[in-house]
């Protein structure tokens, strides 16, 4: 391997309509979550469906595309990097979150 990189690729469906913010700096930010599904058989031979939720963040031009074209249920492919951050909730507790910062987004499925 030439170098190790922070890279993630996911295909999933939006769980809700995206939240789009126009920041004071003039930048556009879109936040949304996608669900990925995996099926497997457990030790008893029963089919098990495992759903994982991923927090996704898109900036600027990509955020504009998200705002204009994406809504709850849409299937998308995203590529980006993982980022960890912390924040304080309303009760003053420190919370941690992992997000996918989008570099590429492809809309999948029909209209």
Count of H helices and E strands in the chain?
A: 1, 6
Report which secondary-structure segment, H or E, holds 80.
Answer: strand 75-88
Pairing of strands 75-88, 94-108: antiparallel
Q: How confident is the model at residue 111 (pLDDT cuts 50, 70, 90)?
A: low
For 79-105, what is the mean pLDDT? 94
- Closest to 55 (Cα-Cα) out of 89, 102, 111, 106: 102
| CATH fold label, 8-40+47-108 | OB fold (Dihydrolipoamide Acetyltransferase, E2P) (2.40.50)
Whole-angstrom distance, CA of residue 13 vs CA of residue 108 = 9
Q: How confident is the model at residue 74 (pLDDT cuts 50, 70, 90)?
A: very high
Q: Evaluate if residue 5 carries a pLDDT over 60.
A: yes
In the chain, what are the domain boundaries? 8-40+47-108
Decide: 66 and 105 in contact? Cβ < 8 Å.
yes
CB-count exposure of residue 100 (10 Å: 0-12, 13-18, 19+): buried
Q: Percentage of residues in the chain with pLDDT exceeding 70?
A: 95
For 10-20, what is the mean pLDDT? 96
In this prediction, residue 70 carries a pLDDT of: 95
Q: How confident is the model at residue 100 (pLDDT cuts 50, 70, 90)?
A: very high
Backbone angles phi, psi at 52, to 5 degrees: -115, 140
């Amino acid at each position: 391997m030439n170098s190790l990189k922070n890279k993630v690729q996911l295909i999933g469906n939006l769980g809700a309509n995206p939240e789009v913010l126009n920041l004071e700096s003039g930048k556009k930010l879109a936040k949304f979550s996608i669900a990925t599904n995996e099926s497997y058989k457990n030790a008893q031979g029963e089919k098990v469906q495992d759903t994982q939720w991923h927090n996704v963040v898109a900036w600027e031009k990509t955020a504009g595309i998200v705002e204009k074209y994406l809504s709850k249920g849409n299937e998308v492919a995203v590529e980006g990097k993982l980022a960890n951050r912390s924040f304080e909730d309303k009760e003053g507790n420190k919370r941690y979150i992992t997000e996918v910062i989008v570099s590429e987004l492809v809309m999948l499925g029909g209209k």
